[in-house]
Amino acid sequence: MTEKRVAIVTGGSRGIGAAIVRRLAKDGLHVVAVARNLEKLEQVCAEVNAAGGSAEPLACDIGDAKAWAAALEQIGDKHGRVDVLVNNAGITRDDLILRMEDEAFDEVINTNLKSAFVSIRSAARLIMRSKTGRIINISSVAGVAGNAGQANYAASKAGLIGLSKSVARELSRKGVTCNVIAPGFITTDMTQVLPDELKETVKSNIPLRRFGEAAEIAAAVAFFASPDAAYITGQVLCVDGGMVM
């Protein structure tokens, strides 16, 4: 069995996920970073390992439930433990409800929500064996407050909240906690594509008047993964510069 606490982080190749991989490795965990792009994962893990941390890449399309469940089994067999599970990978396929195609709805629900269900179900037994089992799901303020043009995305992110609260109740008898982080606007590839004018309008509506950094979400993940958060479960923490309050 791997000696260090083992964390699985989906979407670990860039943006918020890469920041979470770096932070959890810095905090002494062995991190399995998952995404589709192996090259990018390898870059993040090489950087972590060069800095004295411990991370390994695993290429998988988590939207493919069978492949994802098999990959999780492989992680369990290799390490014999899972202590922290961070369901972070996510996509957007924005459109107004009147124009939204079934395919755009299904793809977003599948990648953002069903993948988290599959990972929790697959890893639950090992997490329950951990003395410090933690599940952390990355939702969004869109899942808390809704957002025009993001019915599919907001539904997937609100779904993560319901999933998390149910899992928190089910696994609490084993001391496992399950919490949600709902980021606001964070500087990553996902928000990079927004037009500059829209970014400025958004910023002026954020009480702290700026976008957040990926490391600021990773810091909240690190807290939920730490012993300091052992008595917190089923909660949604908005890390959003005050957008939702």
**3 state SS of 11:** coil
Least distance between ligand NAP and beta carbon 39 (Å): 9
**3 state SS of 197:** helix
Catalytic one among 16, 138, 151, 153?
153
Least distance between ligand NAP and beta carbon 161 (Å): 12
- Taking CB under 6 A as the rule, does residue 151 contact ligand NAP? no
Q: Looking only at residues 167 through 186 of this chain, which bind ligand NAP when binding is defined by CB under 6 A?
A: 183, 185-186
Strand partners, 34: 10, 58
Least distance between ligand NAP and beta carbon 35 (Å): 3
**3 state SS of 135:** strand
Least distance between ligand NAP and beta carbon 196 (Å): 15
Instruction: Select 6 or 180, whichever has its Cβ closest to ligand NAP.
Output: 180
Q: How many CB atoms lie within 10 A of CB 104?
A: 18
User: Taking CB under 6 A as the rule, which mask of x and - marks residues 7-46 in contact with ligand NAP?
Assistant: ---xx-xxxxx-----------------xxx--x------
User: Taking CB under 6 A as the rule, which mask of x and - marks residues 68-107 in contact with ligand NAP?
Assistant: --------------------xxxx----------------
Tokens 């998390």 belong to residue: 164
Q: How many CB atoms lie within 10 A of CB 102?
A: 8
Q: Could you tell me which residues come within 8 angstroms of residue 125 by beta carbon, excluding any fewer than 6 positions away?
A: none
With CB under 6 A as the contact rule, the residue among 150, 152, 179, 191 that binds ligand NAP is: 191
Is 231 among the catalytic positions? no
Q: Could you tell me which residues come within 8 angstroms of residue 198 by beta carbon, excluding any fewer than 6 positions away?
A: none
With b for 16 or more beta-carbon neighbours within 10 A and e for fewer, the 8-18 pattern comes to bbbbbbbbbbb
- Report d(CA 179, CA 231) in Å as an integer: 11
The residues binding ligand NAP (CB under 6 A) are 10-11, 13-17, 35-37, 40, 61-63, 88-91, 111, 138, 140, 183, 185-186, 188-191
List active site positions. Answer: 153
